[in-house]
Structure 1
Amino acid sequence: MKIRELTAMLEQLAPLQLQEDYDNSGLLIGDPESEIRGVLVSLDVTEDVVQEAVQKGCNLVVAHHPLIFRGLKRLTGADYVERTAIAAIKNNVAVYAIHTNLDNVVNGVNYRIAERLGLTGVSILRKKKNTLLKLTVFVPEGEATACVLAALHKAGAGAIGNYSDCSFRTTGTGSFRPEEAANPAIGKRGVLEEVEENRVEVILPAYRKSQVLGAMLAAHPYEEVAYYLQTLENANQEAGSGVIGRLPAAMPPEEFLAYLKERMNLQVIRYTPVSTPIRKIAVCGGSGSFLLGDALAAGADAFITADYKYHEFFGAEGRILIADIGHFESEVFTKDLLVEIISKKITTFATCLSEVNTNPVNYYY
């Protein structure tokens, strides 16, 4: 298998178009046409991780955090990013990052945290807007409509939450006159035709636009297809930041903190105290303080995230337990998630879990 085939599979799960504007996910180092000998999965990419990949016979590192986050103007080994990039290139080790695009999808990073905490009824906390399109296309009635709809659905259109094959149709009369250079599927050149047609409407994720349009054009009987696309403001149920769910039963705050520490394998938790029971939980792996308002609006009793600054904790105002569990600690189980994803899909090469502890933060007791 080539690197581009594996990355295409990963991007079906977590499309690059869903990463945040500031991010740099995707293939950062390496030739996409290279054959994969083995994959090493890590949270971060460091010189030690590259060396581990070489020792284990892996020529691709799949990491959550991008090694190259800001633009590199030179490679002189001045810092760990440049040194790691040089080591990867010298050893022919490709580097791929799957970062906020994996944060922003169902069954991604935040769903894995919710799973570890045993949360139920999990859904995305801040759903993305302006990531959905509505496609309207005009198709002759009968078998042609069924054929086009089947192609649209197969390409990823018409899925809304837990429902698939969704569409809307109205019937009307289409008219057209094929010119002399035309090759009409219906009618004759120079003759005005009137055809009973279906106006077919489906919703699709914007990142599937090219696949859906390609499938539609291939299945449509007309030489020239009449269609148009509209961007929707509807919240995308399948993409966004953070998640929210419920514990099986409410816990007193101290009991919840002990439970959180055990389930997430934590050494320390920075938190804001509350006196009310904890049941409804908001979660955001990594730096999530921007979601506090969403957590409060959703009625969360606790908000689990990382990288909280001192003054930001005041935003709790006794209404919610903010638990800062550490950036590394909140996302470390992403490695297991990625190994599971790759191993289930592909068995033609070894997928290894990195044993290097890349956490730059230590705790002294």
Structure 2
Amino acid sequence: MILYELIPLDVLRVIWWLLLGVLLIGFALTDGFDMGVGALLPFVGKTDSERRVAINTVGPVWEGNQVWFILGGGAIFAAWPPLYAVSFSGFYLAMFLVLAALILRPVGFKYRSKRDSAAWRNGWDWALFVGGAVPALIFGVAMGNVLQGVPFELNDMLMPLYPGNFIMKLLGLLNPYALLAGVVSLSMLMMHGAAWLSVKTEGAVKVRATEIGSVAGMVAFAAYILAGIWLAFGITGYHITSVVPDNGPSNPLFSTVEHSGSWMRAYADRPWIAIAPILGLAGIAMAVRGLRAGREVSTLLWSKLGIFGVISSVGLTMFPFILPSSKMPDASLTVWDASSSHQTLFIMLVCALIFMPLILAYTAWVYKVLWGKVTVEDVERDSHTVY
């Protein structure tokens, strides 16, 4: 027997679906508070020193946190090539906005303190705001579009086609439900950034962060409930009506998909997945309570639990769909028909089992070394502080 055949193809596909979720959630849990701090920056820091305090809480770690984003993109490219091709084509404009905003972040960190000019530093502070708020919003908008189905087709050569011109595509992405999902994402990550600042700062910065973060958390809680109700009663779901080719070739056109009913049928078929939205709501609620009560580490942990629950609820609700097509339902990408080959998935799994523990261990060591609060006195006393 060939070595990679020790693990069946359908099992490997589910494993890589889970690992993709782990990478995306890991990105949200770590780089999420970086983006949240950026989105909060103009509001929690009224003076240059206060803004430097906020920036220095994430400046030393943001690059390491962004590794999860790179790993997620790499995993999509290698494990789910059709998903990579279709999503990066259909969400090209969204990807461009995200990348443009993310590019502002390292430039802002490196250039902000190069000149002792209020106008210069304020400009870069707003650049950091854009670098945090825009990706947080766009990621949610993209998720809202995925839940509704993306208008793509596949021809006989499995090439993705997107009908319509540039304006139609832009307006299609910015639909009401997708914008609501963007509000959930942005407010949730602002709450997460506030939870991080409550751990890493003190004084006025911490007070403002907890006040704004608790409001953002309440917005996230309400918007998530509204999005769930809308999904149940206003968004048409997808389901496979043919035999599921779980061990078959990666060809989406081999399946028959029907665009009807509700996504909520997943909760009737698999009642245990209800734990995900429950954890999401409980985590957000407890994070808001912690921010108001002045708790620190526990608030950050509750915030992470809320993010975990919200993101995992989307994946579990859609399973086995990864990217449904509203234009041509039979072209929808699922766990069973959009993966790489059996051998490729196995080799990648071996690599992941080797390198992911190393990444986790290094990340934990970095946070241990950099643990502690950043104060106004610290940044004012140390004139050589980079950020």
- Asked if these proteins are the same fold (TM beyond 0.5), I'd say no
The structure with the largest strand share of the pair is 1
* Structure of greater Rg: 1
TM-score range, shorter chain: under 0.3
- Name whichever structure is richer in helix by fraction: 2
TM-score between both structures, scaled by the size of structure 1: 0.25
Question: Structure with the greater relative contact order (CA < 8 A, sep ≥ 6): 1 or 2?
Answer: 2
Q: What TM-score results when the alignment is normalised by the length of structure 2?
A: 0.24
